[in-house]
Structure 1
Amino acid sequence: MIQASFVAFICLLLVVLFVLPVRAGQDMCELHYVTEQSPPYNYQEEGDLKGIAVDLLRAASRIGCDDPASLDIRSHSWARSYKLARKVRQYVVFSTVRTPHRESLFHWVGPIGNSPKVLLALKQNSIVINSQVDILQYRIGVVRNDIAEEVLLQMGVPQWKLYRSNDPYKLIEMLSKNKIDLWAVNYNSVPALLKSSELSPSGVTAAYTLFNKKLYFALNPMTPPQMEESLRDSIHKIMSSSEYPHILSKYPTLSQD
């Protein structure tokens, strides 16, 4: 009887010392989430992080985390957020376009939305682009290290024709002052980004569509599998629930296709 009690005690001790700490350290809140200013999916407004992807993460944390309050989301420039997720274990960058070049650089959770990337022009300039060749003559503003920069270079746009900035609002200012001819931007982001500028949505036009690709959470490939699965399962459950349409309704976009 004593021996049986002792064995039971040892088994319980092993559970406490080994099983519980591992389990507590394997959920999606052990990851660090980094993003950029790109409404309607992720952006800061008056110091608060908002957006479809941000709300989706917070909702998922209530399912996938032992302590949802520990969810760590931070906003940086796109270049910094992308570099952190590339180089540092357990970092996740969002919302990220998935491409063949990036495929092996990350593990992917999603899709969570779409990115219709366009070249935006001032209507008053009457820019007409009928083919990729036409693009080569224009000065184009891009967010540094954004997928649009990669795509434009692949099209043959010279490096010196690309005006790079970490700040999308700087690119808006350059467009409004005719310092660039085109601005590469997610079409869904345009109304929100123009709110605090001199430009209005009625004063710009999408002169050309570069692509329309899906958006994902991109995880550093050294992320422990249990954490990755916790994020994937929790995101899937929210997107399959009645809460997801409610999240989308808070952030109307120009294109959901």
Structure 2
Amino acid sequence: MRTSLVLAPTLLALALHSAVALAQNKSAAQKPVLKGVTSAETYPYNFQKDGQVQGLAYDVTKTLVERAGYQLQVDIVPWPRALQLAQTEGGTMIFSVARTAARERIYHWIGPITTSEVWLYKLSSRADIQITELRDVNPYLIGDIAGNSTLSLIKSLGYRVDTAPSNISNCNKFKIGRVDLIPFDPNGVDTFLQTCGIDPRQVEKVLHLPRDTALYIGLSKNTPADLVTQLQQEFTAMTKDQTLQKIVLRWKQTQMNTKK
């Protein structure tokens, strides 16, 4: 009888613990899923490291989706494919995407998350590349990513451009001199170069291009209107309660530590 009296509360506690855990897992499993698409190489906004999606825009999107009562399922795909999927599949979110005139009618927009600058970079060893103003870029070949929003800017300035399917392949061409310059956001260039196998000290910032833009979460036009409204309202709430600003600040501090 003594053994029974001792075990009964323990067994009851274990049963209750199991029931709570099961209920929590069931609750999580019952949350509807929203699909997100992004690329693996857009530093520091969205990228893949150690098999995990990371980045400022990823953290904002995940927080937004969870606050709205959903789960976020992210697919890492080449950027042109991500743009296509977010155009055609209802309920699909793409992040982070520049809100350009050409894209304005393609997506519903949530944001802005943050802002991005565009600078041209060269290898420090390329003493033959001398640039002080926009017209000086004309003799050189710029490497960029297919589907990137900077392509229209580069072409509008009359520059020659060679496209690659990914940032890594573009960087490989840059390393061996197949392209002279690459455009990149200073916020993430150091992390990107390290991933690409280049010491950031071997690369030089050359020229600021005349287009700074806000970055957004895009939603397919096939997305139900009530879901779009819900997410937009939740994003507004994240801004008001400083959740967005805290995420941005955390990533800015991370980038500062990376440069040390």
Q: TM-score, normalised by structure 2?
A: 0.78
Shift of 1:248: 2.7
Q: Is 1:34 matched up with 2:17?
A: no
Q: Deviations over 1:176-218 (max 9, x none)?
A: 2112100122221211111233322222122122221110111
The one-letter code of the counterpart of 1:239 is: T
Contact 2:113 2:244 in 1 (8 A): no
Residue type matched to 2:197 in 1? E
Is residue 46 of structure 1 aligned with residue 47 of structure 2? Answer: no
Asked if 1:198 is matched to 2:222, the reply is: no
The DSSP-based 3-state class of the residue aligned with 1:130 is coil
Q: CA deviation at 1:165?
A: 1.4
SS in structure 1 of the partner of residue 195 of structure 2: coil
Does the 8 A contact of 1:141 with 1:164 survive in 2?
yes
Q: 1:208 to 1:226 in 2, by over 3 A?
A: same
* Structure 2 residue matching 1:129: 3-state secondary structure: coil
Pick closer, same or farther for the CA change 1:62–1:145 going to 2, 3 Å: closer
Q: What is the CA–CA distance in structure 1 between the aligned matches of 2:134 and 2:191, rounded to whole Å? A: 28
Residues 135-187 of structure 1: CA deviation (Å, up to 9, x unaligned) = 22111110111011111112222xxx422112211222221211210012222
How many residue pairs get aligned? The number is 221
**Contact 1:57–1:235 (Cα < 8 Å) also in 2:** no
- Secondary structure of 1:125's partner? coil
Q: Which amino acid aligns with 1:166?
A: P
1:50–1:29 CA distance, 2 compared to 1 (3 A): farther
What residue ranges of structure 1 are gaps of 5+ in the alignment? 1-27
Contact 1:140 1:162 in 2 (8 A): yes
Residues 179 and 29 from structure 1, CA distance in 2 versus in 1: closer, same or farther, beyond 3 angstroms? Answer: farther
> Partner residue of 2:7?
none
Question: Is 2:158 the counterpart of 1:156?
Answer: yes
**CA 1:214 to 1:103, structure 2 compared with 1: closer, same or farther past 3 Å?**
same
Is 1:82 the counterpart of 2:83 in the alignment?
Answer: yes
CA contact (8 A) 1:31 1:227 kept: no
* Residue among 34, 56, 61 paired with 1:57: 61
Does the 8 Å contact 2:97/2:218 carry over to 1? Answer: yes
Displacement of 1:245 in angstroms is: 4.2
Is 1:176 equivalent to 2:213 in the alignment? Answer: no
User: What SS does structure 1 have at the residue aligned with 2:188?
Assistant: helix
Q: Secondary structure at the match of 2:118?
A: strand
Instruction: State whether residues 120 and 182 of structure 1, in contact with CA within 8 Å, keep that contact through their aligned partners in structure 2.
Output: yes
Displacement after TM superposition at 1:29 (Å): 5.5
Determine the structure 2 residue equivalent to 1:247.
Answer: 247
Q: Deviations over 1:71-122 (max 9, x none)?
A: 2222211111011112222222111111122211222111001111111111
Q: Could you tell me how far 1:225 is from its partner in structure 2? A: 1.2
Identity rate, percent:
24
Q: Secondary structure at the match of 2:48?
A: strand
Once the two structures are TM-superposed, the CA of residue 133 in structure 1 deviates from its matched residue by 2.6
Structure 1 match to 2:206:
207
Structure 1 residue 223: deviation in Å?
Answer: 1.6
Structure 1 counterpart SS, 2:84: helix
Aligned to 2:15: none
Check whether the contact 2:38–2:82 (CA below 8 A) recurs between aligned residues: yes
8 Å CA contact 1:30–1:227 kept in 2: the answer is no
User: Is 1:111 paired with 2:115?
Assistant: no
- Between the aligned partners of 1:169 and 1:150, the Cα distance in structure 2 is 21
Residue 242 of structure 1 deviates from its aligned partner by 4.3
Indicate if the aligned counterparts of 1:120 and 1:207 stay in contact, CA closer than 8 A: yes
Task: Please give the secondary structure, in 1, of the residue aligned with 2:152.
Answer: helix
Contact 1:29 1:61 in 2 (8 A): no
Identify the residue that residue 221 of structure 2 maps to in structure 1. Answer: 221
Measured in 2, the distance between the counterparts of 1:195 and 1:226 equals 42
Letter in 2 for 1:131: E
